[in-house]
A and B are shown apart, each in its own frame.
Chain A
Amino acid sequence: MTESENEGIISRFVKMFHRSKYSGQWMFRDSKPKFKEDDILKIYTPELPDRNETVSARIGDTTIEIKDAPENIGGSLVEIRISHFNDEESHGEAELISFQE
């Protein structure tokens, strides 16, 4: 049984009032979540990437460029490690760890 399966209604309800480990926000979430270097995230890449050289995934209105990503990464759930993040521009760069189509 996974951890999430063990989560009861109370714990999930209480969790709404917990502070996010990434954004520092409470239950009103920022449209531009912030991250720090070496954060490992699981995110979706866009189905129709407006890409040229790199894939740019968005978490809310924050943009993360995934360096050296393969072309067939669009629409995948990817695991990335943040290598650089600019708080003011809500823009970061990340290395691809793994992805599943």
Chain B
Amino acid sequence: MSTTDDSTNQQRQKENDEDFIQFYGGKLISSVPLVIFVIWSIVQTAVFQVSDTNGLVVGSVFSLLIGMVFVKGPIVPYANAIFEGMAQRVVATAIIALMWALMFANILQSGNFVQGLVWTALNINVGGSLFPAVTFILTAVFGLAVGTSFGTAVTFTTLFYPAGILLGSNPLLLFGAILSGAILGDHLAPVSDTTIVSAVTQSADIGGVVASRFKYVLLAVIPTVLLYALAGMVLPGVSIAGDTSKILAQNSNPIGLVHLCSLGIVIYLAIKGRHILVTISTGILVATILNIGLGLAKISDLFLLTIPENVWSSGFSTIIPFVTVGSSTGISGAIYSGVTGAFSTSILLLLILAMTQIMSNGGVFELILNWIVENVKTVKSAELAIVGSSAVLNSFFVVHTSAEIILGPYISQLGKRFNVNGYRRANLLDTPLAGVAAFFPWAGPVLLGYGVMSGTLVQDYSWFTKEIVVNTAYIAPFVFYGWFVLIAIIASALTGFGREYTTDDLPEEVSRI
């Protein structure tokens, strides 16, 4: 060992000591901020049924403040850990990708993409018994395009749920199909935040992760479709009266299918390994051109500046298409909503990263890792430990991206210990998430879908009584995709199906991200 190496090691040791945070009660106490945050999330969303990301941001700030109380000695390492966690490249990548993906999703929605999908369902003569199976497929296609299970669940609950009920579908089965499609889209979409985070935290490129994920998705999709078709024939619908044809006609327009091009281009470029910003920006550009060129949306639908009437610049409203005069001033439109829709989640991600950095610098991950290393002796048990950790932690989280960011470094270390490669690690991390993402009443898509039913739908349709609103406590058995994909990944860990080592294929880089 050379002198240079010795001094390097000494310097590294010194740096580690400076970063280390001591807590009253030992290393486990470093997890106090995160534990408090999880409790806050459960109480806010599950107990009080309040789905508000800003509330979670307040909860995370509160949790960080409480954590300070337990610091032993100087507070500086704790404060430094907050900044260190927030400054990680992984979160910057996730925030930018989330913002771009939301813009793309909103532009597609403004271009009647969902109406195009409805038109397709109507023209292949789908009845109430087959409607849940078809809904699952269409929801998955949309989810694949937009990459967000939250937005997909809201959109399809708004449009497909009342249509399916009118056609005679079983309410729980139909809502389960919507949730299944939403989480499938989120699971496989290259533009999904969970796909991106799972890839980035495992140092893998997104295209490779999506391609290697297909096999698990296929294993789950086939039985899911069959079971929805079968259950649709067995489970009864609810009796209601209403003008089915009118409602469906209002939400049916084949021209929206043109956005399959926008979707196809994004998927193609992502899988070809293009930079994620280039990929989604191209999708945004194509979707915008199609919207405006085919008259699906106006420029003002994408971006609109509403200014007061009595200002000197109000004259511009006659010559600039995205400026208008109105009493309620402000900015609106699909692009604006996409950008601002990412703000709260982005801040939340930064704060959660700060909490996990505190845990890291407080030594709790090392403690857990050492415990696992002592108990995990084989690659099979390591993979099962990864799947189990992901399923359990994601069960408690509303924002699953956050759970993945917390788990990412730990899974990376555990997987690398057995030289499980980045693609496989990303799938072991993200697939259990898809399994449990819609099982619980406090899960984001379930919460948002329920909100649409009990709010918008009850108000909008006279025939839509509160009895038709599903009890989300009973939804888990009907989220078939969740069950099948969970079984697929557990079976995969047990049998070695799809296992890849670094010697098989080492992901090239994250520089592409």
Task: Identify the A interface with B (CB < 8 A).
Answer: 2, 4-9, 12-13, 15-16, 20, 22, 27-31, 33, 35, 41-44, 46-48, 57-61, 70-72, 75
What's the nearest-Cβ distance from chain B to residue A69, in Å?
Answer: 11
Q: Per a CB cutoff under 8 Å, which of B208, B413, B496, B503 touches A41?
A: B503
Chain B residues whose CB sits within 8 angstroms of the CB of A9 once the complex forms: 207, 210-211, 214, 271
Instruction: Determine whether the beta carbon of B1 is less than 8 Å from that of A5.
Output: no
Chain B CB within 10 Å, residue with most, of A16, A42, A44, A61:
A44
* With contact pairs A22-B503, A22-B504, A33-B501 given, residues A7 and B418 touching in the complex (Cβ less than 8 Å): no
* With contact pairs A4-B273, A70-B1 given, residues A33 and B500 touching in the complex (Cβ less than 8 Å): no
Instruction: Determine whether the beta carbon of B501 is less than 8 Å from that of A47.
Output: no
Chain B 404-423 interface 0/1 with A at a Cβ cutoff of 8 Å (1 = within)? 00000000010011111000
Chain A CB within 10 Å, residue with most, of B420, B495, B498, B503:
B503
Instruction: Determine whether the beta carbon of A42 is less than 8 Å from that of B503.
Output: yes
Chain A residues whose CB sits within 8 angstroms of the CB of B500 once the complex forms: 29
**Complex Cα distance A46/B370, Å?**
12
Counting from the closest, the 4 A-B pairs by CB-CB distance are A12-B211, A29-B499, A5-B273, A44-B416
Residue B14 interfacial (CB < 8 Å) = no
**Complex Cα distance A61/B420, Å?**
11
Chain B residues whose CB sits within 8 angstroms of the CB of A75 once the complex forms: 416
The interface on chain B, measured as residues whose beta carbon lies within 8 A of the other chain's beta carbons, has a size of 44
Instruction: Determine whether the beta carbon of B503 is less than 8 Å from that of A59.
Output: yes
Chain B residues whose CB sits within 8 angstroms of the CB of A72 once the complex forms: 5, 8-9, 12
**Complex Cα distance A26/B140, Å?**
30
Chain B 389-417 interface 0/1 with A at a Cβ cutoff of 8 Å (1 = within)? 00000000000000000000000010011
Task: Identify the B interface with A (CB < 8 A).
Answer: 1, 5, 8-9, 12, 205, 207-208, 210-212, 214-215, 271-273, 369-370, 373, 378-380, 413, 416-420, 495-509, 512
> What 14 new A-B contacts, CB under 8 Å, besides A4-B507, A12-B207, A58-B418?
A4-B208, A5-B273, A5-B512, A8-B272, A9-B207, A31-B380, A33-B503, A41-B503, A43-B502, A44-B417, A46-B417, A59-B502, A61-B379, A72-B9
Chain A residues whose CB sits within 8 angstroms of the CB of B373 once the complex forms: 48
**Complex Cα distance A6/B413, Å?**
28
Chain A residues whose CB sits within 8 angstroms of the CB of B502 once the complex forms: 41-44, 59
* With contact pairs A8-B271, A12-B208, A13-B214 given, residues A60 and B5 touching in the complex (Cβ less than 8 Å): no
Chain B residues whose CB sits within 8 angstroms of the CB of A13 once the complex forms: 211, 214-215
Instruction: Determine whether the beta carbon of A60 is less than 8 Å from that of B501.
Output: yes
Q: Per a CB cutoff under 8 Å, which of A2, A29, A44, A46 touches B508?
A: A2
* With contact pairs A16-B215, A42-B503, A58-B419 given, residues A71 and B498 touching in the complex (Cβ less than 8 Å): no
**Complex Cα distance A4/B497, Å?**
22
**Complex Cα distance A89/B208, Å?**
33
Chain B residues whose CB sits within 8 angstroms of the CB of A60 once the complex forms: 379, 418-420, 499, 501
Chain A CB within 10 Å, residue with most, of B12, B418, B505, B512:
B418
**Complex Cα distance A16/B242, Å?**
50
CB-CB nearest in chain A for B379: A60
* With contact pairs A48-B373, A72-B8 given, residues A5 and B508 touching in the complex (Cβ less than 8 Å): yes
* With contact pairs A41-B503, A44-B416 given, residues A12 and B212 touching in the complex (Cβ less than 8 Å): yes
Chain B residues whose CB sits within 8 angstroms of the CB of A22 once the complex forms: 503-504
**Complex Cα distance A59/B210, Å?**
23
Chain A residues whose CB sits within 8 angstroms of the CB of B507 once the complex forms: 4
Chain A residues whose CB sits within 8 angstroms of the CB of B417 once the complex forms: 44, 46-47, 58
Q: Per a CB cutoff under 8 Å, which of A7, A29, A31 touches B208?
A: A7
Chain B residues whose CB sits within 8 angstroms of the CB of A6 once the complex forms: 272-273
Chain A residues whose CB sits within 8 angstroms of the CB of B271 once the complex forms: 8-9
Listed by A's residue number, 22 A-B pairs whose Cβ atoms lie within 8 Å are A4-B205, A4-B273, A7-B211, A9-B207, A9-B210, A9-B211, A9-B214, A28-B497, A29-B498, A29-B504, A31-B378, A33-B501, A33-B503, A42-B506, A47-B369, A47-B417, A48-B369, A57-B419, A58-B417, A60-B379, A61-B379, A70-B1
